Amino acid sequence: MAKAQPTFSLKDQLFNAESLGDLADEFVAGVPGFDRDAFHAAALSGIAERSLMECLDWFADCLEPHLAADFPTMADQLQAAMPPRLNPTLRDDDFGRFIHAVPGVLAVRHGLEDHRERALDLLYEATQRFSMEFYIRAFLNRWTDETLARLQMWAGDENYHVRRLVSEGMRPKLPWARKVELTLDQTLPLLDRLQADPTRFVTRSVANHLNDVAKTAPDAVLERLAGWEAQATQDAKERAWMRRHALRTLIKDGHPGAMDMLGYRGDAHLSVSVDVATPTVPLGEGLAFTVTLEGAEATPVLVDYRIRFARPGGKTGEKVFKLKVAEVKPGKPLVLKKVHKLKANATTFELHPGAHGLVVQVNGVDRAEASFDIV
């Protein structure tokens, strides 16, 4: 019998004897008298029963007894133990190491109420080693105006990690993070300054931020993108990339304004048909279908498909899937073939026997549909 493959654990990749040993060595170098072995043993002992984010709080717990009790001195110690700044000549994908998030935990824990300015200074230094996006949010909620004033300064900082923090820290739906209570009037003017940034690390954050906003205020996003296009302060190719990335949720939803902004006309004159080769599909096998598009003129198309799943009690549920971005050319049908696997062991969307529907969406508009059965 083949041996089961070990399950990948991001937590174990990030937090282990080696990475915590590196962190301990940094504090030995920066904090006189630091007890490396005691910290290392304590930190390692608490990893197994904690989640990834809980581990960061645990490491801060283990570190505190070795640091000064008063926060200004503690902040000096944390800063003295920081590794060199991330390479300022890189332009993207230089995230740093999760172990260097610990200063952010302690900045919130001990600096939020009584040492705001020193804590923000600490976050400024720390984010140049690992993003402080999770921790700046506590300050935005507690000291909104004062922290926004800092972000106004940081938006023009020479270090792109600091500039990225401005956008990433304010994101309305930042994964794993606490909610931040900010209005669009407070956040969008800062994105105006960042959208022309020369580094993809920053502009990706701006686009992700707008994608978050699009889920509740799509018109505000379309208006901002149109304004940036008119200003033309960013490189044209980067503007186009940012538009696509910022509008990805709206495109998936078939939002007409988003489709139009990307050049996909909902009213395009097209003939669209779908043929299902497997009208009856056993659970675990594939739904095979062909979509054919024809048009009298060259037409950019973004083709998605939705499956209407049968649910218990006569209900239905839908999911959207990407099919093709292409161009329909006159006199040359665009033929798209797909086999969609209907997994019997799907964990995110359980499948049930019964009648299902297939809907083809072109440029955000439903253009053809068919039915099939899962047995």
* pLDDT tens-digit series, residues 117-126: 999 999 999 9
Domain boundary, last residue among 243, 261, 279: 261
Residue 260: what pLDDT? 93
| Co-location of 122 and 255 in the same domain | yes
The pLDDT score that the predictor gives to residue 5 is 47
Task: Calculate mean pLDDT across residues 63-81.
Answer: 98
pLDDT tops 70 at residue 289: yes
User: Does residue 20 fall inside a structural domain?
Assistant: no
CB count in 10 Å sphere of residue 204: 20
Q: Which token pair is 45? A: 């002992």
Question: pLDDT by residue (tens digit) across 184-211?
Answer: 999 999 999 999 999 999 999 999 999 9
Q: How many domains does the chain have?
A: 2
Instruction: Establish if 222 belongs to a structural domain.
Output: yes
Has residue 199 been placed in a domain?
A: yes
pLDDT in tens, 126-174: 999 999 999 999 999 999 999 999 999 999 999 999 999 999 999 999 9
Report the CATH number that the domain containing residue 155 is assigned in CATH.
1.25.40.290
**Per-residue pLDDT tens over the stretch 36-59:** 999 999 999 999 999 999 999 999
82 and 205 in a common domain: yes
Count of CB atoms within 10 A of residue 199's CB?
Answer: 17
pLDDT digits (tens, 9 = 90+) for 300-311: 999 999 999 988
Instruction: Please check whether residues 131 and 241 belong to one and the same domain.
Output: yes
- Write down the pLDDT at residue 315: 82
Question: In this structure, are 369 and 230 located in the same domain?
Answer: no
Q: Is residue 190 located within the same domain as residue 118?
A: yes
Same domain, 78 and 167: yes
State which of 240, 261, 282 marks the end of a domain: 261
User: Are 176 and 320 found together in one domain?
Assistant: no
On whether both 79 and 107 belong to a single domain, the answer is: yes
19 occurs within a structural domain = no
Cα gap 201→224, rounded to integer Å? 20
Claim to verify: residue 293 and residue 313 sit in the same structural domain: yes
- Given 261, 287, 303, which residue is the final one in a domain? 261
Residue 172: predicted pLDDT: 97
Do 124 and 235 reside in the same domain of the chain?
yes
pLDDT band at 234 (very low <50, low <70, confident <90, very high): very high
Categorize the per-residue pLDDT at 348 as very low, low, confident or very high, splitting at 50, 70 and 90. low
Give the predicted TM-score (pTM) of the model.
Answer: 0.86
Please say if the pLDDT value at position 347 is more than 90.
no
Query: Considering only CA atoms, which of 218, 150, 138 is closest in space to residue 179?
Result: 138
Q: What average pLDDT does the chain have?
A: 94
The CATH number assigned to the domain holding 291 equals: 2.60.40.10
pLDDT above 50 for 13: yes
Q: Please give the average per-residue pLDDT across 13-37, as a whole number.
A: 97
> Is 252 within the bounds of a domain?
yes
Same domain, yes or no, for 355 and 282?
A: yes
Backbone angles phi, psi at 282, to 5 degrees: -65, 140
Find the domain containing 72 and state its range: 67-261
Residues 284 and 252 in one domain: no
Residue with tokens 């720390």: 126
Q: What is the DSSP string of 291-304?
A: EEEEESS-EEEEEE
Residues 6+ positions from 13 with CB-CB distance below 8 Å: none
Q: Considering the chain, what percentage of its residues have pLDDT values greater than 90?
A: 88
Q: What is the mean pLDDT of residues 238-257?
A: 94
Confidence of residue 314 (pLDDT cuts 50, 70, 90): confident
What is the predicted pLDDT for the residue at 310?
87
Q: Quick check: is 39 in a domain?
A: no
